A and B are shown apart, each in its own frame.
Chain A
Amino acid sequence: DSGVTQTPKHLITATGQRVTLRCSPRSGDLSVYWYQQSLDQGLQFLIQYYNGEERAKGNILERFSAQQFPDLHSELNLSSLELGDSALYFCASSVASAGVTEAFFGQGTRLTVV
């Protein structure tokens, strides 16, 4: 158990809908990262937050948004869902902003858009 909690574990929704994925980082970790992993593909970086502020942005679609709250948990909002958004979404957390400490991954949320 990495200490990073993601909910829900599985999510099935229809095209056009909106969903929210939640991530609770390890105790003491200030940095949260979101990644998208499509079937048997690599980890695509979406966005990073550090202590409530956005620090880096990757190839995140405009239909996607995220935020990190004062208690450091983070939410990833996906709207106007398309079939191609079906993927495993990982959240990871680390103590530092990035670079010098390891990132711990949650078990992921498997999103299926039908």
Chain B
Amino acid sequence: QQPVQSPQAVILREGEDAVINCSSSKALYSVHWYRQKHGEAPIFLMILLKGGEQKGHDKISASFNEKKQQSSLYLTASQLSYSGTYFCGSILSGSARQLTFGSGTQLTVLP
């Protein structure tokens, strides 16, 4: 079951903040966040395993609401290098542990 990401695209200025959401209709075991630059391999950002857990990576952090089966990725004070497509990947509870990705959110940071 593919997670649902929103928004599909975001355009912001350098220094602005952004939030990308990821939700599932089924119980999640874990949520993974990746960033992909055009034509390149996706790069791992973070994994969230427990409800309410929040992790950070430089000025990028994420939360996981296990009760709502939702995760959000927070980009603070965006830098030009943050531009790319962000994918959330989900692994469902009780599943064969396949890592299924959402359709992605295209983030563009302008100077």
Report the contact-size class of chain A (Cβ under 8 Å from the partner).
Answer: 20 to 34
Contact across chains for B96 and A99 when beta carbons are under 8 A apart: no
A103 to chain B, nearest CB (A): 6
Q: B96 contacts which chain A residues (CB < 8 A)?
A: 48, 55-56, 98
Q: In the assembly, what is the distance between CA of A2 and CA of B103, in Å? A: 23
Q: In the assembly, what is the distance between CA of A56 and CA of B41, in Å? A: 22
Residues of A within 8 A of B (CB): 2, 33, 35, 41-43, 45, 48, 55-58, 88, 90, 92, 97-108
Q: B34 contacts which chain A residues (CB < 8 A)?
A: 105
Q: In the assembly, what is the distance between CA of A49 and CA of B57, in Å? A: 29
Contact across chains for A103 and B41 when beta carbons are under 8 A apart: no
Contact across chains for B98 and A98 when beta carbons are under 8 A apart: yes
- Partner of A56 from B30, B43, B87, B97 at Cβ < 8 Å: B97
